[in-house]
Protein backbone atom coordinates (compact mmCIF):
# COMPACT_ATOMS: atom_id res chain seq x y z
CA UNK A 1 0.00 0.00 0.00
CA UNK A 2 2.69 2.36 1.09
CA UNK A 3 4.77 1.34 -1.85
CA UNK A 4 1.86 1.92 -4.21
CA UNK A 5 1.30 5.43 -2.86
CA UNK A 6 5.00 6.26 -2.93
CA UNK A 7 5.29 5.07 -6.46
CA UNK A 8 2.25 6.99 -7.60
CA UNK A 9 3.40 10.23 -5.97
CA UNK A 10 6.95 9.86 -7.27
CA UNK A 11 5.59 9.27 -10.70
CA UNK A 12 3.94 12.67 -10.58
CA UNK A 13 7.25 14.26 -9.70
CA UNK A 14 7.09 14.66 -5.95
CA UNK A 15 9.06 12.98 -3.24
CA UNK A 16 6.87 12.09 -0.29
CA UNK A 17 9.90 11.48 1.93
CA UNK A 18 10.56 15.21 2.02
CA UNK A 19 7.01 16.06 3.08
CA UNK A 20 6.20 16.77 6.71
CA UNK A 21 3.80 14.34 8.43
CA UNK A 22 3.91 11.72 5.72
CA UNK A 23 2.84 9.15 8.28
CA UNK A 24 -0.49 10.94 8.66
CA UNK A 25 -0.96 11.01 4.91
CA UNK A 26 -0.31 7.28 4.82
CA UNK A 27 -2.71 6.80 7.72
CA UNK A 28 -5.41 8.77 5.94
CA UNK A 29 -5.01 6.80 2.76
CA UNK A 30 -4.91 3.56 4.71
CA UNK A 31 -8.22 4.47 6.30
CA UNK A 32 -9.65 5.42 2.93
CA UNK A 33 -8.56 2.16 1.38
CA UNK A 34 -9.82 0.13 4.33
CA UNK A 35 -13.18 1.79 3.90
CA UNK A 36 -13.10 0.98 0.20
CA UNK A 37 -12.08 -2.62 0.80
CA UNK A 38 -14.77 -3.25 3.41
CA UNK A 39 -17.26 -1.84 0.98
CA UNK A 40 -15.77 -4.00 -1.72
CA UNK A 41 -16.33 -7.04 0.50
CA UNK A 42 -19.92 -6.11 1.17
CA UNK A 43 -20.73 -5.16 -2.40
CA UNK A 44 -19.07 -8.24 -3.87
CA UNK A 45 -21.11 -10.34 -1.46
CA UNK A 46 -24.24 -8.64 -2.71
CA UNK A 47 -23.32 -9.00 -6.37
CA UNK A 48 -22.46 -12.66 -5.89
CA UNK A 49 -25.87 -13.21 -4.38
CA UNK A 50 -27.35 -11.99 -7.64
CA UNK A 51 -24.80 -13.86 -9.75
CA UNK A 52 -25.39 -17.09 -7.90
CA UNK A 53 -29.11 -16.84 -8.43
CA UNK A 54 -28.68 -16.20 -12.13
CA UNK A 55 -26.15 -19.00 -12.52
CA UNK A 56 -28.29 -21.40 -10.54
CA UNK A 57 -31.32 -20.44 -12.58
CA UNK A 58 -29.55 -21.01 -15.88
CA UNK A 59 -28.20 -24.35 -14.72
CA UNK A 60 -31.67 -25.37 -13.63
CA UNK A 61 -33.27 -24.31 -16.89
CA UNK A 62 -34.91 -21.32 -15.27
CA UNK A 63 -34.58 -17.58 -15.83
CA UNK A 64 -33.81 -16.19 -12.40
CA UNK A 65 -34.16 -12.62 -11.15
CA UNK A 66 -34.11 -10.40 -14.20
CA UNK A 67 -36.47 -7.56 -13.41
CA UNK A 68 -34.52 -5.02 -11.36
CA UNK A 69 -32.08 -3.20 -13.58
CA UNK A 70 -30.36 -4.64 -16.66
CA UNK A 71 -30.52 -8.47 -16.47
CA UNK A 72 -31.69 -8.05 -12.89
CA UNK A 73 -28.30 -6.76 -11.83
CA UNK A 74 -29.70 -4.40 -9.21
CA UNK A 75 -31.64 -7.19 -7.54
CA UNK A 76 -29.19 -7.36 -4.68
CA UNK A 77 -29.79 -3.70 -3.85
CA UNK A 78 -33.51 -4.29 -3.78
CA UNK A 79 -32.95 -7.25 -1.48
CA UNK A 80 -30.71 -5.24 0.79
CA UNK A 81 -33.29 -2.48 1.04
CA UNK A 82 -35.97 -4.99 1.83
CA UNK A 83 -33.87 -6.70 4.48
CA UNK A 84 -33.02 -3.34 6.05
CA UNK A 85 -36.65 -2.42 6.36
CA UNK A 86 -37.69 -5.75 7.82
CA UNK A 87 -38.41 -6.06 11.50
CA UNK A 88 -35.43 -7.17 13.53
CA UNK A 89 -36.97 -10.13 15.31
CA UNK A 90 -35.25 -11.42 18.40
CA UNK A 91 -36.80 -14.50 19.98
CA UNK A 92 -37.92 -13.97 23.57
CA UNK A 93 -36.23 -17.09 24.81
CA UNK A 94 -32.92 -16.28 23.17
CA UNK A 95 -29.75 -15.01 24.79
CA UNK A 96 -30.31 -11.39 23.81
CA UNK A 97 -26.75 -10.06 23.92
CA UNK A 98 -25.11 -12.97 22.14
CA UNK A 99 -27.91 -13.09 19.62
CA UNK A 100 -27.34 -9.46 18.70
CA UNK A 101 -23.56 -9.73 18.70
CA UNK A 102 -23.13 -12.89 16.61
CA UNK A 103 -23.53 -11.31 13.14
CA UNK A 104 -20.84 -8.72 13.93
CA UNK A 105 -18.37 -11.43 14.88
CA UNK A 106 -19.01 -13.02 11.53
CA UNK A 107 -18.49 -9.71 9.75
CA UNK A 108 -15.27 -8.96 11.61
CA UNK A 109 -13.79 -12.37 10.90
CA UNK A 110 -14.69 -12.03 7.27
CA UNK A 111 -13.52 -8.44 6.70
CA UNK A 112 -10.19 -8.96 8.43
CA UNK A 113 -9.16 -11.42 5.74
CA UNK A 114 -9.17 -8.66 3.16
CA UNK A 115 -6.26 -6.97 4.90
CA UNK A 116 -3.80 -9.53 3.57
CA UNK A 117 -5.56 -10.41 0.31
CA UNK A 118 -3.91 -8.92 -2.75
CA UNK A 119 -5.91 -7.31 -5.54
CA UNK A 120 -3.17 -6.34 -7.92
CA UNK A 121 0.49 -5.75 -8.23
CA UNK A 122 0.60 -3.08 -5.56
CA UNK A 123 -3.00 -2.93 -4.37
CA UNK A 124 -2.97 -4.64 -1.00
CA UNK A 125 -3.71 -3.12 2.37
CA UNK A 126 -0.82 -4.73 4.17
CA UNK A 127 1.69 -7.03 2.56
CA UNK A 128 2.58 -8.83 5.77
CA UNK A 129 5.44 -11.24 5.89
CA UNK A 130 3.13 -13.68 7.69
CA UNK A 131 0.19 -13.08 5.37
CA UNK A 132 -0.92 -16.69 5.00
CA UNK A 133 -0.60 -17.30 8.70
CA UNK A 134 -2.75 -14.25 9.37
CA UNK A 135 -5.43 -15.30 6.90
CA UNK A 136 -5.67 -18.80 8.36
CA UNK A 137 -5.98 -17.37 11.85
CA UNK A 138 -8.59 -14.76 11.04
CA UNK A 139 -10.91 -16.99 9.02
CA UNK A 140 -11.34 -19.19 12.07
CA UNK A 141 -13.02 -16.24 13.79
CA UNK A 142 -16.14 -16.82 11.74
CA UNK A 143 -16.80 -20.01 13.62
CA UNK A 144 -17.14 -18.00 16.83
CA UNK A 145 -19.96 -16.00 15.31
CA UNK A 146 -21.65 -19.14 14.03
CA UNK A 147 -21.50 -20.87 17.40
CA UNK A 148 -22.75 -17.73 19.14
CA UNK A 149 -25.69 -17.45 16.80
CA UNK A 150 -26.55 -21.12 17.11
CA UNK A 151 -26.31 -21.19 20.86
CA UNK A 152 -28.07 -17.91 21.55
CA UNK A 153 -31.03 -18.68 19.27
CA UNK A 154 -32.16 -21.29 21.78
CA UNK A 155 -33.43 -23.47 18.97
CA UNK A 156 -32.44 -27.08 18.51
CA UNK A 157 -32.04 -26.70 14.77
CA UNK A 158 -29.78 -23.67 15.18
CA UNK A 159 -27.67 -25.48 17.71
CA UNK A 160 -27.29 -28.44 15.39
CA UNK A 161 -26.08 -26.15 12.65
CA UNK A 162 -23.67 -24.35 14.91
CA UNK A 163 -22.12 -27.51 16.29
CA UNK A 164 -21.78 -29.00 12.84
CA UNK A 165 -20.15 -25.80 11.66
CA UNK A 166 -17.70 -25.73 14.54
CA UNK A 167 -16.66 -29.31 13.95
CA UNK A 168 -16.35 -28.69 10.24
CA UNK A 169 -14.42 -25.43 10.21
CA UNK A 170 -12.02 -26.45 12.96
CA UNK A 171 -11.31 -29.81 11.29
CA UNK A 172 -10.80 -28.45 7.81
CA UNK A 173 -8.37 -25.81 9.04
CA UNK A 174 -5.78 -28.56 9.18
CA UNK A 175 -5.80 -29.82 5.58
CA UNK A 176 -6.27 -26.27 4.35
CA UNK A 177 -3.27 -25.10 6.34
CA UNK A 178 -1.12 -28.02 5.23
CA UNK A 179 -2.08 -27.53 1.60
CA UNK A 180 -1.20 -23.85 1.82
CA UNK A 181 2.20 -24.77 3.17
CA UNK A 182 3.11 -26.14 -0.25
CA UNK A 183 3.19 -22.79 -2.06
CA UNK A 184 4.92 -21.43 0.99
CA UNK A 185 7.57 -24.12 0.63
CA UNK A 186 7.91 -23.49 -3.07
CA UNK A 187 8.08 -19.71 -2.75
CA UNK A 188 10.03 -19.59 0.46
CA UNK A 189 7.87 -16.85 1.92
CA UNK A 190 4.55 -16.43 3.71
CA UNK A 191 3.80 -13.06 2.19
CA UNK A 192 0.94 -13.30 -0.29
CA UNK A 193 2.61 -10.90 -2.68
CA UNK A 194 5.86 -12.84 -2.39
CA UNK A 195 4.12 -16.08 -3.32
CA UNK A 196 2.59 -14.47 -6.40
CA UNK A 197 5.96 -13.05 -7.41
CA UNK A 198 7.46 -16.51 -7.19
CA UNK A 199 5.03 -17.69 -9.90
CA UNK A 200 4.59 -16.50 -13.45
CA UNK A 201 1.81 -15.33 -15.70
CA UNK A 202 1.55 -18.45 -17.89
CA UNK A 203 -0.20 -21.59 -16.67
CA UNK A 204 2.98 -23.67 -16.76
CA UNK A 205 4.55 -21.23 -14.36
CA UNK A 206 1.88 -21.64 -11.75
CA UNK A 207 2.43 -23.53 -8.54
CA UNK A 208 -0.54 -25.76 -9.22
CA UNK A 209 1.40 -27.38 -12.05
CA UNK A 210 4.70 -27.45 -10.22
CA UNK A 211 4.46 -31.12 -9.39
CA UNK A 212 1.70 -33.73 -8.86
CA UNK A 213 1.64 -33.16 -5.13
CA UNK A 214 1.05 -29.45 -5.63
CA UNK A 215 -1.86 -30.26 -7.93
CA UNK A 216 -3.26 -32.57 -5.27
CA UNK A 217 -2.67 -29.85 -2.70
CA UNK A 218 -4.68 -27.43 -4.81
CA UNK A 219 -7.65 -29.79 -4.79
CA UNK A 220 -7.24 -30.44 -1.07
CA UNK A 221 -7.16 -26.72 -0.43
CA UNK A 222 -10.16 -26.07 -2.63
CA UNK A 223 -12.18 -28.79 -0.90
CA UNK A 224 -11.23 -27.50 2.51
CA UNK A 225 -12.06 -23.96 1.47
CA UNK A 226 -15.50 -25.13 0.38
CA UNK A 227 -15.95 -26.71 3.79
CA UNK A 228 -14.77 -23.60 5.60
CA UNK A 229 -17.09 -21.44 3.55
CA UNK A 230 -20.05 -23.76 4.25
CA UNK A 231 -20.57 -24.36 0.58
CA UNK A 232 -22.13 -27.44 -1.00
CA UNK A 233 -21.21 -30.29 -0.66
CA UNK A 234 -20.29 -29.11 2.83
CA UNK A 235 -23.30 -26.91 3.52
CA UNK A 236 -24.20 -29.01 6.54
CA UNK A 237 -24.45 -26.07 8.97
CA UNK A 238 -27.32 -24.62 7.01
CA UNK A 239 -28.57 -27.83 5.43
CA UNK A 240 -31.92 -26.63 4.27
CA UNK A 241 -33.58 -29.98 3.94
CA UNK A 242 -32.34 -31.22 7.29
CA UNK A 243 -32.00 -28.28 9.64
CA UNK A 244 -34.52 -25.87 8.16
CA UNK A 245 -31.87 -23.16 7.84
CA UNK A 246 -29.24 -24.13 10.35
CA UNK A 247 -27.59 -21.60 12.60
CA UNK A 248 -29.41 -18.61 11.12
CA UNK A 249 -32.90 -20.10 11.41
CA UNK A 250 -34.09 -17.56 13.97
CA UNK A 251 -32.59 -14.49 12.34
CA UNK A 252 -34.40 -11.99 10.21
CA UNK A 253 -33.90 -8.63 8.60
CA UNK A 254 -30.49 -6.99 8.66
CA UNK A 255 -28.90 -9.51 11.00
CA UNK A 256 -29.88 -12.30 8.68
CA UNK A 257 -28.42 -10.41 5.73
CA UNK A 258 -25.05 -10.24 7.53
CA UNK A 259 -24.88 -14.01 7.54
CA UNK A 260 -25.55 -14.16 3.87
CA UNK A 261 -23.18 -11.33 3.11
CA UNK A 262 -20.46 -13.34 4.80
CA UNK A 263 -21.42 -16.50 2.99
CA UNK A 264 -21.23 -14.89 -0.43
CA UNK A 265 -18.31 -12.67 0.46
CA UNK A 266 -16.45 -15.82 1.43
CA UNK A 267 -16.70 -16.89 -2.19
CA UNK A 268 -14.30 -14.10 -3.05
CA UNK A 269 -12.00 -14.94 -0.16
CA UNK A 270 -11.64 -18.60 -1.02
CA UNK A 271 -11.28 -17.97 -4.72
CA UNK A 272 -8.80 -15.14 -4.29
CA UNK A 273 -6.75 -17.27 -1.95
CA UNK A 274 -6.70 -20.15 -4.42
CA UNK A 275 -5.66 -17.82 -7.23
CA UNK A 276 -2.99 -16.21 -5.10
CA UNK A 277 -1.47 -19.41 -3.84
CA UNK A 278 -1.71 -21.68 -6.86
CA UNK A 279 -2.82 -19.82 -9.96
CA UNK A 280 -0.28 -17.07 -10.40
CA UNK A 281 -2.32 -14.26 -8.81
CA UNK A 282 -2.15 -10.96 -10.66
CA UNK A 283 0.79 -11.86 -12.90
CA UNK A 284 0.24 -10.25 -16.29
CA UNK A 285 1.54 -12.05 -19.40
CA UNK A 286 4.61 -10.41 -20.98
CA UNK A 287 4.99 -8.17 -17.92
CA UNK A 288 7.04 -9.91 -15.25
CA UNK A 289 6.86 -8.58 -11.72
CA UNK A 290 10.24 -6.83 -11.82
CA UNK A 291 9.31 -4.93 -14.98
CA UNK A 292 6.07 -3.91 -13.29
CA UNK A 293 8.10 -2.61 -10.35
CA UNK A 294 10.19 -0.46 -12.62
CA UNK A 295 7.25 1.35 -14.21
CA UNK A 296 6.26 4.86 -13.08
CA UNK A 297 3.42 7.26 -13.67
CA UNK A 298 0.61 6.46 -16.11
CA UNK A 299 2.20 3.30 -17.52
CA UNK A 300 2.38 2.03 -13.96
CA UNK A 301 -1.26 2.91 -13.51
CA UNK A 302 -2.32 1.01 -16.63
CA UNK A 303 -0.15 -1.95 -15.72
CA UNK A 304 -1.80 -1.87 -12.32
CA UNK A 305 -5.23 -1.96 -13.96
CA UNK A 306 -4.09 -4.86 -16.16
CA UNK A 307 -2.91 -6.87 -13.20
CA UNK A 308 -6.14 -6.04 -11.37
CA UNK A 309 -8.08 -7.31 -14.37
CA UNK A 310 -6.12 -10.55 -14.52
CA UNK A 311 -6.64 -11.18 -10.84
CA UNK A 312 -10.35 -10.42 -11.05
CA UNK A 313 -10.85 -12.64 -14.07
CA UNK A 314 -9.21 -15.61 -12.40
CA UNK A 315 -10.99 -15.08 -9.11
CA UNK A 316 -14.39 -14.66 -10.71
CA UNK A 317 -13.84 -17.87 -12.63
CA UNK A 318 -13.29 -19.69 -9.35
CA UNK A 319 -16.32 -18.00 -7.85
CA UNK A 320 -18.26 -19.42 -10.76
CA UNK A 321 -16.78 -22.87 -10.17
CA UNK A 322 -17.85 -22.79 -6.55
CA UNK A 323 -21.39 -21.85 -7.58
CA UNK A 324 -21.34 -24.49 -10.26
CA UNK A 325 -20.32 -27.13 -7.72
CA UNK A 326 -23.09 -26.02 -5.41
CA UNK A 327 -25.74 -26.51 -8.05
CA UNK A 328 -24.42 -29.91 -9.07
CA UNK A 329 -23.59 -31.85 -5.98
CA UNK A 330 -25.57 -33.35 -3.14
CA UNK A 331 -24.62 -32.76 0.44
CA UNK A 332 -22.54 -35.19 2.45
CA UNK A 333 -23.41 -36.40 5.90
CA UNK A 334 -21.78 -35.30 9.14
CA UNK A 335 -19.83 -38.48 9.74
CA UNK A 336 -18.76 -38.61 6.09
CA UNK A 337 -17.62 -35.02 6.36
CA UNK A 338 -15.41 -35.87 9.31
CA UNK A 339 -14.30 -39.09 7.63
CA UNK A 340 -13.28 -37.22 4.53
CA UNK A 341 -11.30 -34.67 6.48
CA UNK A 342 -9.42 -36.98 8.79
CA UNK A 343 -9.07 -40.06 6.63
CA UNK A 344 -8.57 -38.53 3.21
CA UNK A 345 -7.54 -34.90 3.24
CA UNK A 346 -5.29 -34.75 6.30
CA UNK A 347 -3.10 -37.74 5.38
CA UNK A 348 -3.04 -36.69 1.76
CA UNK A 349 -1.95 -33.17 2.63
CA UNK A 350 0.86 -34.45 4.86
CA UNK A 351 2.07 -36.76 2.14
CA UNK A 352 1.89 -33.90 -0.34
CA UNK A 353 4.03 -31.63 1.85
CA UNK A 354 6.64 -34.37 2.23
CA UNK A 355 6.59 -35.08 -1.48
CA UNK A 356 7.04 -31.40 -2.35
CA UNK A 357 10.01 -31.11 0.00
CA UNK A 358 11.52 -34.16 -1.67
CA UNK A 359 10.69 -32.84 -5.12
CA UNK A 360 12.41 -29.54 -4.40
CA UNK A 361 15.59 -31.43 -3.64
CA UNK A 362 15.23 -33.36 -6.89
CA UNK A 363 14.65 -30.19 -8.90
CA UNK A 364 17.65 -28.54 -7.34
CA UNK A 365 19.71 -31.45 -8.59
CA UNK A 366 18.06 -31.58 -12.04
CA UNK A 367 16.31 -28.27 -12.96
CA UNK A 368 15.25 -29.61 -16.37
CA UNK A 369 13.05 -32.21 -14.67
CA UNK A 370 11.14 -29.48 -12.85
CA UNK A 371 10.45 -27.56 -16.05
CA UNK A 372 9.40 -30.72 -17.85
CA UNK A 373 6.96 -31.53 -15.06
CA UNK A 374 5.49 -28.02 -15.29
CA UNK A 375 4.79 -28.43 -18.98
CA UNK A 376 3.54 -31.99 -18.59
CA UNK A 377 0.99 -31.12 -15.91
CA UNK A 378 -0.16 -27.98 -17.71
CA UNK A 379 -0.57 -30.06 -20.86
CA UNK A 380 -2.62 -32.69 -19.05
CA UNK A 381 -4.83 -29.95 -17.62
CA UNK A 382 -5.30 -28.46 -21.07
CA UNK A 383 -6.31 -31.82 -22.49
CA UNK A 384 -8.74 -32.31 -19.60
CA UNK A 385 -10.35 -28.93 -20.30
CA UNK A 386 -10.75 -29.77 -23.99
CA UNK A 387 -12.24 -33.17 -23.15
CA UNK A 388 -14.61 -31.54 -20.74
CA UNK A 389 -15.79 -29.04 -23.32
CA UNK A 390 -16.40 -31.88 -25.76
CA UNK A 391 -18.34 -33.76 -23.11
CA UNK A 392 -20.52 -30.71 -22.51
CA UNK A 393 -21.14 -30.39 -26.23
CA UNK A 394 -22.08 -34.07 -26.36
CA UNK A 395 -24.52 -33.59 -23.51
CA UNK A 396 -26.14 -30.79 -25.46
CA UNK A 397 -26.43 -32.92 -28.57
CA UNK A 398 -27.63 -36.03 -26.72
CA UNK A 399 -30.88 -34.51 -25.61
CA UNK A 400 -31.41 -32.75 -28.89
CA UNK A 401 -31.06 -29.22 -27.53
CA UNK A 402 -29.39 -26.35 -29.30
CA UNK A 403 -26.65 -24.07 -28.09
CA UNK A 404 -28.46 -20.97 -26.92
CA UNK A 405 -26.69 -18.88 -24.35
CA UNK A 406 -28.00 -15.47 -25.16
CA UNK A 407 -31.76 -15.76 -25.14
CA UNK A 408 -34.05 -15.04 -22.26
CA UNK A 409 -31.73 -13.24 -19.92
Partner 1 sequence: MAETQISPQQTPGAFGAYVKNVRDTAKSFWEGMSVTLSYMFRKPMTTQYPDRMGVPVQQTIPARYRGFLEVDMDICTACQACERACPIQVINIDILKGDGKLVPKLRMERFDIDIGKCMFCGLCVEPCPTGAIQHTREFEGAVMHFNNLTLRFVPDVLHPVVAYKPPKGAEAFPRRELGEITRKLIKAWDAPPPAFPSEEVAKADHGKPKPGGALDISAMGRQLAARALQVKEDKPKLQKVLEEAMAGTDCGDCGYPDCFGYSDAIAQGKDSSTDKCAPGGADSKAMLETILVSLKTGTVPGAPAPAPAAPAPGAAAPAPGSALEPAVAKGPPLAQTLPKDELFKVVLDAMAGTDCGDCEYPDCEGYSKGIVYEGQTDLNRCAPGGEDTRVKLYEIMLGTKPPPK
Partner 2 sequence: MKPLELPTMDMEHKEVLRRIEITGDMLLNMGPQHPSTHGVINFLVQTDGEVMKRAIPEVGYLHRSIEKIGERCTYNGYMPYTDRVDYIAAMFANQGWAMAVERLLGLEVPKRAEYCRVIACELNRISSHLVSAGTMAMDIGAVTPFPYALREREYINDLLEELCGARLTYNYLRIGGVAFDLPSGFEDKVTSFLDHFEKIVDEFNRLITYNEIFIKRLANLAPIPAEMAIEYCLVGPNLRASGVGFDVRKDLPYSVYPDFQFDVPVGRGEVGTMGDSWDRFWCRVEEMRQSCRILRQAIAQIPKDDRTIMGKVPRKIKLTEGAEAYSRIESARGDMQYYVVAGPGENAHRVKIRTGSFTAMGIIDQLSRGLMIADLVALIASLDVVAPEIDR
Spatial CA neighbour of 149 closest among 57, 76, 255, 58: 255
Helix (H, G, I), strand (E, B) or coil at 140: coil
Q: Is 97 a binder of partner 1 (CB under 8 A)?
A: no
Binding mask 280-319 for partner 1 (x = CB under 8 A): ----------------------------------------
Q: Is 335 a binder of partner 1 (CB under 8 A)?
A: no
Numbers of helices and strands, H then E, in the chain: 16, 0
Spatial CA neighbour of 132 closest among 183, 172, 174: 183
Q: Please classify residue 41 by burial: count the beta carbons closer than 10 Å to its beta carbon, then call 0-12 exposed, 13-18 middle and 19+ buried.
A: buried
Which does residue 407 touch among partner 2, partner 1, none (CB within 5 to 8 A, set by kind)? Answer: partner 1
CB closer to partner 2, 5 vs 329: 329
DSSP annotation of 283 reads P
CB closer to partner 2, 75 vs 155: 155
CB closer to partner 2, 10 vs 331: 331
State in angstroms the smallest separation of the CB of 57 from partner 2: 9
CB closer to partner 1, 60 vs 129: 60
Which does residue 242 touch among partner 2, partner 1, none (CB within 5 to 8 A, set by kind)? Answer: partner 2
166 close to 143: Cβ distance less than 8 angstroms: yes
Which does residue 404 touch among partner 1, partner 2, none (CB within 5 to 8 A, set by kind)? Answer: partner 1
Distance CA 219, CA 225 (A): 10
> Contact positions toward partner 2, by CB under 8 A?
56, 59-62, 156, 160, 163-164, 232-233, 235-236, 239-244, 327-336, 395, 398-400
Q: Is 60 a binder of partner 1 (CB under 8 A)?
A: yes
Other CB atoms within 10 A of residue 83 CB:
17
Spatial CA neighbour of 258 closest among 135, 92, 88: 88
Which listed range, 16-24, 244-252, 264-272, 322-330, lies at the site for partner 1 (CB under 8 A)? 322-330
Amino acid sequence: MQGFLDNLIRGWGYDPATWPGTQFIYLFFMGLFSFLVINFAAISGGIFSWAERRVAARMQSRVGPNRVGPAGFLQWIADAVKLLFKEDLIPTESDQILFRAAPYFMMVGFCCVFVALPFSHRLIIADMNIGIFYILAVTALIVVGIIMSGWSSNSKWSLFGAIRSAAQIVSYEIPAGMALMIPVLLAGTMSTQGIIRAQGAWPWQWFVFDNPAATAAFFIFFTSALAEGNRTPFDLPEAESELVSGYNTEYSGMRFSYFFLVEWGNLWVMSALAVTMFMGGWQVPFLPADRLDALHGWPAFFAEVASLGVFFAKTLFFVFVVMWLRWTLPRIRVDQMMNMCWKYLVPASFVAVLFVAFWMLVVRAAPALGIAMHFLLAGVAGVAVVMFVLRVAKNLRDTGDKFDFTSNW
